[in-house]
């Protein structure tokens, strides 16, 4: 059964999991198989791991590739999201290591974020281009339906969790200067990381519901009582976070996998009124590339 956002019919969700730093595999998947998925945007970060958890179809992608060969600026975000879309994914849970920008969000804390500030700049940020222009809404960039499930299951598992918070996306790969860290704090941001944009923008363009669990690994470099962030510190805390992240994944999948109608937040219909280019001005070559992510609306002409 596939998504039918247009008719409102029930769907059987397929859950996409994007594993960040320290999460390169998913335990407990049945019938698991790593498969190469080709896309018109180039290669995804790695093969995708297909399987089932409690009967729910899941597709896992290690964001930086197995063994972490890819830095944030070199990720092919478009290929990653297209590959998940053409694999049937309807809902994405992004699992990410982040630095904390608030005293009350210590290492080990999980944040189900609800906003982004995108300060990344060296990345392809849209599937659309000359020959097919689209402007999707990003006022609420994360799916609140998935967010509810993530928050609920964190609480059920007794994990320290905060619902809501702004994730500042920096380009990296260097960590922030102290002045930058304090600037982001003055903007009221909760956490800082390098990867969730343009991932979330592209998921919205592809009409995939997307939510993030930001797992705090460090206090970045602003905190007087804590050392500035290092990869060693991130990896150490991620190793502790990873078992909690795995428990969370195991408990959210059955909930997210239950048959449902269209997303009440409309993420799965984001392209409905977003494309502005007149049909006769559209570039056939670009339309072909857009088949997987935007075929639902483009096939109507
Ligand atoms: C290894 S620390 C920096 C690295 O970790 C985060 O990645 P992800 O979101 O994939 O967990 C951060 O954004 C940086 O890419
Ligand atoms: N302090 C930090 N800054 C950017 N990305 C991070 N990922 C984990 N910690 C981080």
Residue of 236, 193, 233 whose CA lies nearest to 100: 193
The boundaries of the domain holding residue 140 are 15-296
- Give residue for tokens 């063994």: 67
Strands 115-118 and 166-169: parallel
Joined together, the tokens standing for residue 234 give 């991130």
Residue 102 in domain: yes
Q: What angle do CA 193, 194, 199 make, to 5 degrees?
A: 110
228 is in an annotated binding site: no
Distance between CA atoms of residues 79 and 90, nearest Å = 16
Cβ count near 163 (within 10 Å)? 17
From first to last of the 301 residues of the chain, give the pLDDT tens digit. 444 565 668 999 999 999 999 899 888 899 999 999 999 999 999 999 999 999 999 999 999 999 999 999 999 999 999 999 999 999 999 999 999 999 999 999 999 999 999 999 999 999 999 999 999 999 999 999 999 999 999 999 999 999 999 999 999 999 999 999 999 999 999 999 999 999 999 999 999 999 999 999 999 999 999 999 999 999 999 998 888 999 999 999 999 999 999 999 999 999 999 999 999 999 999 999 999 999 999 998 6
Distance between CA atoms of residues 203 and 143, nearest Å = 11
Residue 52 in domain: yes
Q: Is the CB of 194 under 6 A from ligand 1?
A: yes
Number of H helices, E strands in the chain: 7, 11
CB neighbour list of residue 144: distance below 8 Å, 6 or more residues apart: 114, 265
Residue 169 bridge partners (DSSP): 118, 193
Q: Is the CB of 193 under 6 A from ligand 1?
A: yes
For residue 218, the CA-to-ligand 2 centroid distance in Å is 7
Beta strands in 54-187 (DSSP E): 56-62, 91-100, 110-112, 115-118, 161-163, 166-169
DSSP classification of residue 92: E
State if pTM tops 0.95: yes
CB neighbour list of residue 2: distance below 8 Å, 6 or more residues apart: 11, 88
The CATH number of whichever domain residue 122 belongs to comes to 3.40.50.1580
- Ligand 2 atom at shortest distance from the alpha carbon of 229: 1
Residue 301 in domain: no
Q: Is the CB of 234 under 6 A from ligand 1?
A: yes
Residue 43: burial class (beta carbons within 10 Å; 0-12, 13-18, 19+): middle
Residue 168 in domain: yes
Q: Which residues are tagged catalytic? A: 218, 220
Ligand 2, CB cutoff 6 Å, lining residues = 97-99, 175, 192-194, 217-218, 220, 229, 234
Distance between CA atoms of residues 226 and 241, nearest Å = 19
Joined together, the tokens standing for residue 64 give 């930086």
- Ligand 1 atom at shortest distance from the alpha carbon of 22: 11
64 is in an annotated binding site: yes
Residue 92 bridge partners (DSSP): 16, 210
39 is in an annotated binding site: no
94 is in an annotated binding site: no
Q: What angle do CA 217, 219, 225 make, to 5 degrees?
A: 130
Distance between CA atoms of residues 97 and 39, nearest Å = 27
Q: Distance of alpha carbon 189 from its chain centroid, rounded?
A: 18
194 is in an annotated binding site: yes
Report H helices in the chain: 77-86, 144-156, 178-186, 196-205, 231-256, 284-289, 291-298
pLDDT number for residue 28: 87
Residue 6 in domain: no
Residue 267 in domain: yes
Indicate the number of domains in the chain: 1
Residue 217 in domain: yes
Residue 104 in domain: yes
Report H helices in 134-281: 144-156, 178-186, 196-205, 231-256
Ligand 2 site-directed mutation target among 106, 120, 190, 220, most atoms within 8 Å of CB = 220
DSSP classification of residue 39: B
Ligand 1 atom 13 nearest Cα:
194
For residue 25, the CA-to-ligand 2 centroid distance in Å is 21
ipTM of the complex: 0.99
Q: Distance of alpha carbon 172 from its chain centroid, rounded?
A: 18
Ligand 2 site-directed mutation target among 194, 235, 242, most atoms within 8 Å of CB = 194
- Give residue for tokens 């006769």: 280
Largest CA distance in the chain: 61
């Amino acid at each position: 059964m596939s998504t039918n956002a247009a008719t409102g019919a029930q769907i059987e969700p397929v859950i996409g999991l994007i594993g960040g730093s320290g999460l390169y595999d998913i335990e407990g998947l049945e019938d698991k198989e790593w498969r190469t998925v080709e896309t018109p945007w180039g290669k995804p970060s790695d093969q995708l791991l297909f399987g089932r958890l409690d009967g729910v179809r899941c597709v896992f992608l290690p964001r930086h590739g197995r063994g972490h060969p890819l830095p944030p600026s070199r990720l092919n975000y478009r290929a990653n999201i297209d590959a998940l879309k053409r694999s049937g994914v309807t809902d994405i849970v992004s699992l990410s290591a982040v630095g904390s920008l608030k005293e009350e969000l210590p290492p080990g804390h999980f944040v189900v974020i609800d906003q982004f500030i995108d300060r990344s700049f060296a990345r392809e940020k849209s599937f659309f281009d000359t020959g097919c222009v689209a402007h999707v809404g990003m006022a609420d960039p994360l799916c609140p339906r998935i967010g509810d499930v993530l928050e609920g299951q964190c609480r059920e598992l007794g994990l320290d969790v905060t619902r809501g918070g702004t994730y500042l996306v920096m380009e990296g790969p260097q960590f922030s200067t102290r002045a930058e860290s304090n600037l982001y704090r003055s903007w009221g941001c909760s956490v800082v990381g390098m990867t969730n944009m343009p991932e979330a923008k592209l998921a919205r363009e592809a009409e995939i519901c997307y939510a993030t669990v930001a797992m705090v690994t460090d206090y970045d470099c602003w905190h007087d009582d804590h050392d500035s962030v290092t990869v060693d510190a991130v990896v150490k805390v991620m190793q502790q976070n990873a078992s909690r992240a795995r428990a969370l994944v195991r408990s959210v999948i059955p909930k997210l996998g239950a048959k449902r109608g269209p997303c009440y937040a409309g993420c799965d219909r984001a392209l409905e009124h977003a494309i502005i280019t007149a049909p006769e001005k559209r570039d056939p070559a670009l339309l072909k590339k857009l088949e997987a992510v935007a075929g639902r609306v483009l096939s109507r002409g």
